[in-house]
Amino acid sequence: MSLTTQRQTHPSAFDLDGPNTSASPWWRWLFVLPGLVAAAYGVYGLLTAGSRVPLDSWLTWFVGSALLHDLVIAPIWIGLGWLAARVLPDAARPAIVVGAAVAGLLALVALPFVLGVGADPENPSFLPREYGRNLLLVDAGVLVLAAVWAGVATVRSRSRAVAEDVC
């Protein structure tokens, strides 16, 4: 479905002058409150930990991760989204976006193992596998599945469009 068709069928989703959405539904607080409680508990634990938590190194990691996200990861993801919107058919975009997100998250989780963080040469059983190769294989599998999903979705979308044109 093209953006123009979406605007015609769901005008309020794209109309900035549409219905008043300033009032949040009451159930949103069911999600917000536990997050606020968890954040408050974390701040309390951080501030009352004393010397068990080195605040300077914690602050370095906290600020560094925010900067890494805002200055590197987010612009790359936005650029890839822009490119996908220009290159990929509408039906293929969800599959490719989900595949890229899953592959990226897998890489992020596996990165300490791939880099060998904490490896001990005297204990070869600590990191016993080829984590870099395995990450490439799993990510390749995820991306192949995403490409197959995108191909099937594109073929189905085109066959539906042809069937609608015939009728």
DSSP characters over 64-109:
HHHHHIIIIIHHHHHHHHHHHHHHS-GGGHHHHHHHHHHHHHHHHH
Number of Cβ atoms within 10 Å of the Cβ of 122: 5
Mean predicted confidence (pLDDT) in 146-163: 92
For residue 138, what are the contacts with CB-CB under 8 A and spacing of at least 6?
A: 106
Q: Among the ranges 3-7, 44-48, 142-146, which has the highest mean pLDDT value?
A: 142-146
Q: Which pLDDT does position 56 carry in this prediction?
A: 87
pLDDT band at 118 (very low <50, low <70, confident <90, very high): confident
pTM score > 0.75 for this model? no
Q: Which pLDDT does position 9 carry in this prediction?
A: 54
Q: Work out the mean pLDDT of the chain and round it to a whole number.
A: 86
Assigned domain for 80 exists: no
Assigned domain for 108 exists: yes
pLDDT band at 14 (very low <50, low <70, confident <90, very high): very low
Q: Which domain holds residue 113?
A: 88-167
Residue 154 has pLDDT above 50, yes or no: yes
Assigned domain for 19 exists: yes
Q: Let me know whether 103 and 150 are in one domain.
A: yes
> In this predicted model, what pLDDT tens digit does every residue of 24-40 receive, in sequence order?
788 888 999 999 999 99
Assigned domain for 62 exists: no
Q: Which pLDDT does position 18 carry in this prediction?
A: 53
Q: Let me know whether 108 and 160 are in one domain.
A: yes
Residue 12 has pLDDT above 50, yes or no: no
Q: Let me know whether 101 and 157 are in one domain.
A: yes
